[in-house]
Amino acid sequence: MAPHPLSSAQQQSVEQLLETMTLSEKIGQMTQPEKNSVKPGDVTRLSLGSVLSGGGGNPDPNTPQSWREMVGAFHEEAQQSRLGIPLLYGVDAVHGHNNVVGATVFPHNIGLGATRDADLVRRIGRATALEVAATDVRWDFAPAVSVPQDVRWGRTYEGYSQDTGVVSELAAALIEGFRGDGWATPTSVLPSVKHFIADAATTWGTSRRADRSTLATDRTLAIAQMGQSFVELLDLGAWQIDQGNSEIDEATLRAVHLPPYQAAIEAGALNVMVSYSSWQGLKMHAQHYLLTEVLKGELGFAGFVVSDWEAIDQIHPGDYDRCVVDAINAGLDMVMVPFDYERFIASLGRAVQSGQVSESRIDDAVRRILTAKVALGLFEHPRTDPALLNLVGCAEHRTLAREAVQKSLVLLKNVGDVLPLDPAGPELLVAGEAADDLGAQCGGWTISWMGGHGPVTPGTTLLEGLQAAGGQVHFSPDGVVDRDYPVGVVVLAEAPYAEGMGDRSDLSLSADQVALLERVRARCTRLVVVLLSGRPLIITEQLPQWDALVAAWLPGTEGQGVADVLYGERPFTGKLSFDWPHSHADLPRRPEATLLFPLGAGLTTDADSIRFPGLQDNAKV
Ligand code: BGC
Ligand code: BGC
C-alpha cells in the first residue's frame, strides 16, 4: 500500500476546509463539465471543481498562448468563488499535448511499448508534463493502462502492450515523468490512470454504445453525428467491442488487468478514470466492489475516482437520477458530466436530501479531490509559469520524439538485407499518399478527437524525413510510374480513428492498398513496406511479395525518426508488444491461435554494423 500522499498537517487542513463547505460547494467540487458547455460565471457561482477539454476541445485560434488564456480564465473564476478552491483543468494529452497545434506529438503507446524503454517513456512523461503545464493545465487523462486482448478494438493503440508487465513498467515510468521533481512542484501533472478496469478485455459484439435505443439519449454521438460516414463505420464494426462487456473471471481480472493500477498507485497516481465497459454484465461505473472495495480498500488508493465522459448515463439509460445515485454510491468522486452540469448538480443534491446518497459519501469524495489538489500544491500556486510556453513543441522535445520513433520501429522481414537503404544509392521510389500525410502518421487524438489527414499541426512527414536525409527520392502518391526502380518503399496507413469508431471486424488491407502494392511491385526489384497502423493488420497473403516489412505504428510529428532507421543512421531495435495474428480466425488472442509473428518479434541491427547487418531472413515468410 502506498503511504498517504499528505502530511498530517495537510490532512488536517483538508478536514478544516471540508468543514467550512456547504453541500452545494461540495457537489460543485464533484462536477466536471466540458469547457464548451460552461456558461460564463458558473465556475464561480457553482464552485465547480474541474473543467475539461474533450478531444478537440480547443480554443480558437488553436495556439499554445490561447490555450493558456482559455484555461487561465477558468482558474480566475475559481479563485473568485467563496472559498477560492483552485480548479483542476483536465485534457487528453495521450501522446504529447496532442490537442494543441504546435505541440510535440509522440508515438502512440503501442509504439512506445515496442521500445520496451522505460527511461525513454519517463523522459516523454516529463516533456509532456512541461508542455501541458505551459498551457496552465495540471491534469492529464493518461496513461491508458489497458492490456488489449483483441486488436479489432479501436483503442488498441492506446495500450502499450498485451503484456501486463510491459504495461505496468511503462505506465509507472510515464507517471514518474509527470511527477518530475515532486507532485507539489508547479510543473507536475496529475495522471489519470484509465480505464478502470479491464476496458481491453471486452467481447466482440457486446458494445451497446451505438444501439438505436441508446443513440437517442447519447449527446456525444448526437453532436458528433458523422452522417453517412458514421453509418459506413457502423457497418465496418464501429462500437462492437469498445465499451462492451468483459466476461473474464475475477482471477484473470486480477492477474492481467489489475497490476498496472497497483504500479501506478505506487508511482504516486492520485486519480483513476473508470471504464465505460461492463464486467460480468454490470457497468464499471456501478461496480461498488471493484471501485470501493478493491481500488480504494485493498489497494489503498487515497486519490479520487473520475467517471468517463457521459458514462454514468449508461448505467440506466433514460433514468438519470438512478444513474447518479448508483455511480456515487459505487465510489465515483467526480463526474465528467460533460454537458448538462446543472442537471447533475440538482440530481445529486436531491439524492443527498432524500438520503439515497449519504453525506459521509459526499465528504469522502470531496476529501479525495481536495487531497489531490493539496498534493499538487495548487493552493500555493494555482497557476503555472507562462515562460513554460517556450517549451511547447521545442527542439529538445522534438528530438526526444524522434528518438522514440527510431526505437519504436519493428523490422519484421528483411530478405537479403534490403534494409538499411543506402542514402548514396540510386533513386528511391516512395509510394502511397500516407508517406506524406502528417495526420495519418499521428492517428486519432491529434488536434481533434478522431484525428485527421494532412498537415494538422507542424511536423515532418515520412517523405520529408527521407528527403531531408539526403537520398534521391521520387514520390508517387498512387504508385503510377513510367520506369523501373531498384527499390520501392510503399507506405500504407490506417485512416485515423479513436475509440469505438475504430473497432473493425476486418483488418485486411483495402483493395486500393493491394492495388498500389501490385503496381509498385511490378516496377521495383525490391519492395519495402512501411505500415502506419494502430495495431497489427492481416497481411499474410501479401507478405510473400515484400522484401522488407517495417511496423511503424503511429509515430507522431517526427517523421525523420523513420528515415533515420531506414537509412541506417540508427539501428532497428523495436520488438512487437503484441502478437501479430495470422488471420481473422486468430482473434481474439488465445493460446492456440496461429501467429504471423509473436510478441517480442523484431529483427535487430547492431549499432556497429548497421550498413551490413547480416540479418537472417525471417524463416517463416
Ligand atoms: C474517453 C476518455 C477520455 C475522455 C475525455 C472519453 O470518451 O473514453 O479516454 O479521457 O473521453 O476526453
Ligand atoms: C470524447 C471527447 C470528444 C467527444 C466528441 C467524447 O466521447 O471523449 O473527447 O470531444 O466525444 O463529441
pLDDT at 231: 77
What pLDDT, on a 0 to 100 scale, did the predictor assign at position 454? 98
* Whole-number pLDDT of residue 228: 63
pLDDT at 364 over 60: yes
Q: Does residue 341 share a domain with residue 434?
A: no
488 belongs to a structural domain: yes
Counting residues of the chain whose pLDDT is more than 70, the rounded percentage is: 95
- pLDDT for the residue numbered 619: 32
Q: What is the mean pLDDT of residues 518-527?
A: 98
Tell me, in angstroms, the distance from the centre of ligand 2 to residue 54's CA: 5
Cα of 55 to ligand 2 centre, how many Å? 5
* Model confidence band, residue 588 (pLDDT cutoffs 50, 70, 90): very high
Neighbours of 155 (CB within 10 A): 26
218 CA distance to ligand 1 middle (Å) = 15
Shared domain check, 450 and 386? no
pLDDT at position 621 over 60:
no
CA of 523 relative to ligand 2 center, distance in Å: 44
Task: Look up the pTM and report it.
Answer: 0.96
pLDDT tens digits for range 28-61: 999 999 999 999 999 999 999 999 999 889 999 9
CATH number at residue 446: 3.40.50.1700
Measured in Å, residue 309 CA sits from the centre of ligand 2 at 7
Range of the domain at 440: 395-619
55 lines ligand 2 (CB under 6 A): yes
pLDDT at 560 over 80: yes
Domain-embedded: residue 252? yes
Q: Does residue 381 surpass a pLDDT of 90? A: yes
- pLDDT at site 612: 34
Report the nearest atom of ligand 2 relative to the CA of 310: 7
Pocket test for ligand 2, best of 309, 448, 499 (most atoms within 8 A of CB): 309
515 in a domain, yes or no?
A: yes
Task: Give the ligand with the smallest distance to the CA of 273.
Answer: 1
DSSP string, 47-76: T--EEE--TT---SS--HHHHHHHHHHHHH
Q: According to the model, what pLDDT value does residue 310 have?
A: 95
Q: What pLDDT shows up at residue 224?
A: 65
- Could you tell me which residues come within 8 angstroms of residue 18 by beta carbon, excluding any fewer than 6 positions away? 26, 363, 366, 367, 370
Residue ranges of alpha helices (H) inside 462-549 are 462-468, 511-523
- Residue 553 placed within a domain: yes
Which CATH number fits the domain that encloses residue 56? 3.20.20.300
**Separation of CA 34 and ligand 1 centre (Å):** 11
For residue range 308-344, what is the model confidence (pLDDT) as tens digits? 999 999 999 999 999 999 999 999 999 999 999 999 9
Supply the pLDDT for residue 609: 39
pLDDT confidence tier of residue 546, bands split at 50, 70 and 90: very high
Q: Which of 94, 275, 308, 337 to mutate to test the pocket of ligand 1 (most atoms within 8 A of CB)?
A: 308
Q: Is the CB of residue 433 below 6 angstroms from any atom belonging to ligand 1?
A: no
Best of 309, 337, 448 for a ligand 1 pocket test (most atoms within 8 Å of beta carbon)? 309
Residue 230 resides in a domain: no
For residue 277, the ligand closest to its alpha carbon is: 1
Q: Which of 342, 369, 391 is the last residue of a domain?
A: 391
DSSP string for 474-497: EEETT---SS-EEEEEEEEEPPP-
Active-site residue list: 308, 499
Ligand 2 lined by 309 (C-beta under 6 Å): yes
Q: For 272-304, write each residue's pLDDT tens digit.
A: 999 999 999 999 999 999 999 999 999 999 999
pLDDT value at 126 more than 50: yes
**Mean per-residue pLDDT over the chain, rounded:** 95
Residues 355 and 459 reside in one and the same domain: no
- In whole angstroms, what is the distance from residue 101 CA to residue 91 CA? 14
**Which pLDDT belongs to residue 62?**
98
Higher pLDDT, 220 or 32: 32
Q: Residue 570 pLDDT more than 60?
A: yes
Q: What is the pLDDT of residues 425-437, one digit of tens each?
A: 999 999 999 999 9
- Residue 387 and residue 419 in one domain: no
- Determine the angle formed by the axes of helices 259-266 and 164-179, rounding to 10 degrees: 20
Judge if the upstream peptide bond of residue 197 is cis by omega within 30 degrees of 0.
Answer: yes
Same domain, 418 and 497: yes
pLDDT of residue 471: 86
Question: In this structure, are 299 and 152 located in the same domain?
Answer: yes
Asked if residue 93 and residue 155 are part of one domain, the reply reads yes
Q: What is the mean pLDDT of residues 448-462?
A: 97
Q: In what order do the strands lie in the sheet with 245-246?
A: 245-246, 278-279, 282-283
Q: Tell which of 391, 417, 447 closes a domain.
A: 391
Residue (of 71, 276, 273) closest to 190 by Cα position:
273
Quick one: pLDDT band at residue 227, thresholds 50, 70, 90?
Answer: low
In a mutational test of the pocket of ligand 2, which residue from 53, 158, 207, 449 has the highest number of ligand atoms less than 8 Å from its CB? Answer: 449
Residue 219 lies in a domain: no
Residue 415 has pLDDT above 50, yes or no: yes
Looking at the CA of residue 53, tell me the nearest atom of ligand 1: 12
* Ligand 1 pocket, residue 139 CB under 6 Å: no
pLDDT at 216 over 70: no
Residues in a beta bridge with 52: 34, 90
Q: Are residues 200 and 305 in the same domain?
A: yes
Cell numbers 493500477 correspond to: 261
pLDDT band at 613 (very low <50, low <70, confident <90, very high): very low
Residues 373 and 443 in one domain: no
Last residue in a domain, options 337, 367, 391 = 391
Q: Is there an atom of ligand 2 within 6 Å of 160 CB?
A: no
Does residue 220 have its Cβ closer than 6 Å to ligand 2? yes
Evaluate: CB of 310 within 6 angstroms of ligand 1. no
Residue 357, pLDDT score: 98
Residue 248 shares a structural domain with residue 272:
yes
Quote the ligand 2 centre to 221 CA distance (angstroms).
Answer: 9
For residue 1, being part of any structural domain is answered with no
pLDDT at 359: 98
- CB 308 less than 6 A from any atom of ligand 1: yes
Q: How far is Cα 468 from Cα 466, in angstroms, rounded to an integer?
A: 5
Q: Which atom, in ligand 2's list, is nearest to the CA of 57?
A: 10
Q: How confident is the model at residue 91 (pLDDT cuts 50, 70, 90)?
A: very high
Q: Do 385 and 412 share a domain, yes or no?
A: no
Q: How confident is residue 209, by pLDDT bands cut at 50, 70 and 90?
A: confident
**Total structural domains in the chain?**
2
- Ligand 1 pocket residue status of 152, Cβ below 6 Å: no
278 Cα to the center of ligand 1, angstroms: 16
DSSP summary character for residue 447 = S
Residue 2 lies in a domain: no
**Could you report the per-residue pLDDT of 160-194, keeping only the tens digit for each?**
999 999 999 999 999 999 999 999 999 999 999 99
412 and 357 share one domain: no
